[in-house]
Structure 1
Amino acid sequence: MDTLFLILVPIALLAVLGALGLGLYSMARGGAGSPERSNKLMQLRVVLQAVAIAVVLAAVWIKSR
């Protein structure tokens, strides 16, 4: 089970970092349709952050048992 979390935690964190990077890039680039795209990417980032927190909390909870 520890191996699973050793894989899931970095994947979740990299997904958050990727969504954040793409959202910031989309905002900086600008152009037509950019506000909608960057807004969706930032919403995705919030969801991915919640998933990452849940994975970390599950890892800590499993480890403490």
Structure 2
Amino acid sequence: MEVFLNILIVLSLAAVLIILFTGLFTMAKGGDFNKNNANRFMRYRVIAQGIALVVLVLALLAKGS
């Protein structure tokens, strides 16, 4: 169970990192793609951060018991 939780933590944090850098590179490049997708990447990042937070809390609760 602990290995599974560790994998979930790493995957959720990696997803946040990937979405964050994709959004940053999109903003740096600019253009029409940025105008059409900047808010979408921001929403995806916030959702991924929320999921990562839930995974971390669940992992802490599971490891504490």
Q: CA deviation at 1:63?
A: 0.7
- In structure 2, how many angstroms separate the alpha carbons of the residues matched to 1:64 and 1:17? 27
Q: What amino acid is the match of 2:58? A: A
- Unaligned 5+ segments in structure 2 are none
Aligned residue for 2:17? 17
Which has the larger displacement, 46-55 or 28-37?
A: 28-37
Q: What amino acid is the match of 2:39? A: N
Contact 1:5–1:59 (CA under 8 A) maintained in structure 2: yes
- Per-residue displacement from partner, 1:17-65 (whole Å, max 9, x unpaired)? 0000000111111111312312101110000000000000000001111
Residue 62 (structure 1) aligned with residue 62 (structure 2)? yes
Aligned residue for 1:27? 27
Q: CA RMSD for the aligned pairs?
A: 0.9
Over 2 Å off, 4+ runs: none
- In structure 2, how many angstroms separate the alpha carbons of the residues matched to 1:17 and 1:38? 16
- In structure 2, how many angstroms separate the alpha carbons of the residues matched to 1:52 and 1:6? 12
Between structures 1 and 2, the one with greater helix share:
2
Report % sequence identity: 35
